[in-house]
């Protein structure tokens, strides 16, 4: 619990702007990036209002703090736009499941392999599960055979990320795009 007599530090992404700056002297940088030297806070604010820009504290830990002349609203807009674009171009890799049985025929395997190929083209991983029913557990080699045949259909575009292993009545293998 925070004490009421202590002020909370500003969030790290938030900058102090104009009248929020508390240091008596600042190192001033123009909007073009050239150093204007160490100025008093009043002089820096006067220069900012003269140029119709904001005085933004960009390095508060420096001695004296570094402040830059910029249009702060435009700066925040560009930052939000960058974050949005980065989020839009980011593809989260997900794992898709394909279910098989030990008695799955070749035509069905080819059909599911075509579907898996589409998912792999999108950048997803494929978890291939072979489910055993009843007495099929006595013939695990059939499950290994089905996984091997499925892997052969996709060997040109996949690599095996996790070899086949058995969990209870399920045999699992994970394929990733090359």
List the one residue out of 59, 137, 57 whose CA is nearest residue 102: 137
Report the pLDDT value the prediction gives residue 4, as an integer from 0 to 100. Answer: 55
pLDDT surpassing 50 at residue 38: yes
Report the pLDDT value the prediction gives residue 151, as an integer from 0 to 100. Answer: 92
Confidence of residue 17 (pLDDT cuts 50, 70, 90): confident
Q: Which residues make Cβ contacts (< 8 Å) with residue 43, sequence separation at least 6?
A: none
Q: Could you tell me if 125 and 176 are in contact, meaning their C-beta atoms sit under 8 angstroms apart?
A: yes
pLDDT surpassing 80 at residue 11: no
d(CA 36, CA 48): 12
Q: Is the pTM of this model over 0.75?
A: no
Q: What is the set of domains in the chain, with CATH numbers?
A: 18-87 (3.10.20.80), 95-177 (3.30.110.10)
Report the pLDDT value the prediction gives residue 6, as an integer from 0 to 100. Answer: 55
């Amino acid at each position: 619990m925070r004490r009421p007599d202590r002020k909370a530090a500003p969030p790290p992404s938030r900058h102090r702007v104009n009248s929020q700056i508390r240091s008596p002297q600042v190192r001033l940088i123009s909007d073009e990036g050239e150093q204007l030297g160490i100025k008093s806070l009043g002089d820096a604010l006067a220069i900012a209002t003269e140029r119709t820009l904001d005085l933004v504290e960009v390095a508060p830990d420096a001695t004296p703090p570094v402040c830059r002349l910029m249009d702060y609203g435009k700066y925040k807009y560009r930052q939000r736009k960058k974050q949005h674009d980065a989020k839009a171009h980011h593809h989260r890799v997900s794992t898709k499941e394909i279910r098989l049985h030990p008695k799955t025929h070749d035509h069905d395997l080819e059909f599911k392999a075509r579907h898996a190929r589409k998912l792999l083209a999108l950048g997803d991983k494929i978890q291939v599960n072979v489910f055993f029913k009843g007495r099929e557990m006595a013939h695990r080699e059939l499950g290994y055979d089905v996984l091997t045949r499925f892997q052969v259909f996709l060997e040109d575009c996949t690599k095996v990320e996790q070899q086949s292993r058995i969990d209870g009545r399920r045999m699992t293998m994970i394929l990733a795009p090359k």
